[in-house]
């Protein structure tokens, strides 16, 4: 699957059943094999210095379920800090044990209202996420950001 010595990536949007489990994209690569990716955008992280990890969903009828931060199955989660070139990424299965520690340590939990439910999200400082060693970051060019946002 190498063309002219380069990696080949085939990307498709996640199917409905994959989306229901948290995936946004399915990627096939000639070296990595197959991987699922989830992508989140946080419009407040730049100003607050925190990442919001959804830990619980409560439907209008009162039914409670685990939030996406703790149930997502993709191999990688990409978390764009909107308004910056920084994208954090991690393997959810490696970060999830930290979530329990942050809850136990008393990190702030905020409530967000939506049309048919509300969610509770754990606020974790970006530097604390990075300090786990399980969260990495990449920077993308402003040109790429503009292309994605304005095309």
Per-residue pLDDT of 63-77, as tens digits, reads 998 888 887 778 888
Mean pLDDT of all residues in 30-48: 83
Instruction: Please answer whether residues 91 and 134 qualify as being in contact, where contact means their C-beta atoms are separated by less than 8 angstroms.
Output: yes
Instruction: Please answer whether residues 107 and 77 qualify as being in contact, where contact means their C-beta atoms are separated by less than 8 angstroms.
Output: no
Nearest to 75 by CA among 123, 39, 129, 115: 39
Residue 31 main-chain phi, psi, to 5 deg: -115, -35
Confidence band for 2, pLDDT divided at 50, 70 and 90: very low
Global pTM value = 0.78
Mean pLDDT of all residues in 133-137: 94
Instruction: Please answer whether residues 81 and 126 qualify as being in contact, where contact means their C-beta atoms are separated by less than 8 angstroms.
Output: yes
Tokens linked to 125: 């400082």
105 Cβ contact list (under 8 Å, min separation 6): none
């Amino acid at each position: 699957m190498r063309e002219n010595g380069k990696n080949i990536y085939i990307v498709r949007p996640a199917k409905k059943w994959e989306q229901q489990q948290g995936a946004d994209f399915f990627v096939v690569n000639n070296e990595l094999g197959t991987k699922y990716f989830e992508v989140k955008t946080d419009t407040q992280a730049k100003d607050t210095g925190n990442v919001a990890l959804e830990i619980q969903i409560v439907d209008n009828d009162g039914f409670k379920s685990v939030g996406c931060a703790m149930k997502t199955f993709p191999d990688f989660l990409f978390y764009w800090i909107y308004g910056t070139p920084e994208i954090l990424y991690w393997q959810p299965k490696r970060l999830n044990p930290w979530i329990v520690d942050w809850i136990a340590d008393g990190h702030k939990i905020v409530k967000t209202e939506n049309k048919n439910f509300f969610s509770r999200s754990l606020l974790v400082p970006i530097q604390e996420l990075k300090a786990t060693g399980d969260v990495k970051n990449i920077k993308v060019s402003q040109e790429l950001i503009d292309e994605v946002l304005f095309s």
